Chain A
């Protein structure tokens, strides 16, 4: 029961943070990426403000084996910077710039983003479901290059 409440609480606080920070405003997102135009630095403050509590949280998490709700605490290590990560990041960055929404704000905007927001969310989910098919050729290229 507690983990469901905490998941709902985290989603709620995340949503309110996205809303008031400007992350759900495509003008502010595109303004941040438009360094050759009228650059808007707001998103740098959002990033800075979000990282501080998370640095503290990771320090506290490092001491514990289990979370408050009793599930095991994740202790992720360092993974490889591979082709899949790089290709994915390029595609994500391009999409983020074109429309101005990333996944969190796209979900949060369902309640106030109008029809356009719903279409964006549907297209994003379609992309997520199509990813498995798209990943195969990328991994194929990786195998091909590592053979040589």
Chain B
């Protein structure tokens, strides 16, 4: 528990390194929602095979790394409405906003994009409000 911040910092460093590899290597901005979204709605065009390679690494490498640790878990709620409503809102919201935690939160803020700074302030604020209402006011999650 005391070392969580260190893991956070190290993991964050790798997330930033991944964004740097994609930007300097391929000239692409690393946004998870954009890479997945443009691949499933077929708007990626010539970038789609590159996107598939990115997604393949993103799925396979953590899966292999997690093998020796069977306790690895997302601790996702067993309540089906939580999973479905949460997924739908994240899908719709990130496509509308044209970015998520990686695209706006990491890549956008790093270049002082006004859209990304505004988006990050709003989604973190909306998240704080939502968890406060669901957990402390209505006791739903």
Chain B positions within 8 Å of A, measured between CB atoms, are 4-30, 32-33, 36-37, 40-41, 49-51, 53-66, 72-78, 80, 82-98, 100-102, 104-107, 109-111, 113-115, 118-120, 122-132, 134-136, 141
Contact = CB atoms under 8 A, between A and B. Distances in A.
A143 interface: no
A64 B57 CA distance: 27
Contacts of B127: 33, 93-94, 96-97
A131 B17 CA distance: 30
Interface residues of A, number: 118
A112 B136 CA distance: 30
Contact of B102 (A91, A98, A103, A132): A103
Given A84-B97, A88-B92, A10 B8 contact: no
Contacts of A41: 5
B118 A81 contact: yes
A93 B101 CA distance: 10
Nearest to B27: A67
B11 to A, nearest CB: 2
5 contacts: A4-B50, A11-B56, A26-B75, A101-B74, A123-B88
A37 B135 CA distance: 9
A134 B88 CA distance: 12
A81 B115 CA distance: 5
A18 B58 CA distance: 9
Contacts of B95: 88, 127-128, 131, 135
Contacts of A85: 96-98, 115, 118-119
A127 B91 contact: yes
Given A21-B7, A124-B87, A134-B92, 5 more contacts: A21-B10, A22-B7, A103-B102, A104-B101, A123-B88
B104 to A, nearest CB: 8
Contacts of A74: 23, 27-29
Contacts of A64: 24
A26 B77 contact: yes
Contact of B16 (A2, A51, A84, A108): A51
B109 to A, nearest CB: 6
Scoring A57, A74, A109, A126 by chain B CB atoms within 10 A of each residue's CB, the highest score goes to A57
Nearest to A72: B27
A103 B54 contact: no
B27 to A, nearest CB: 4
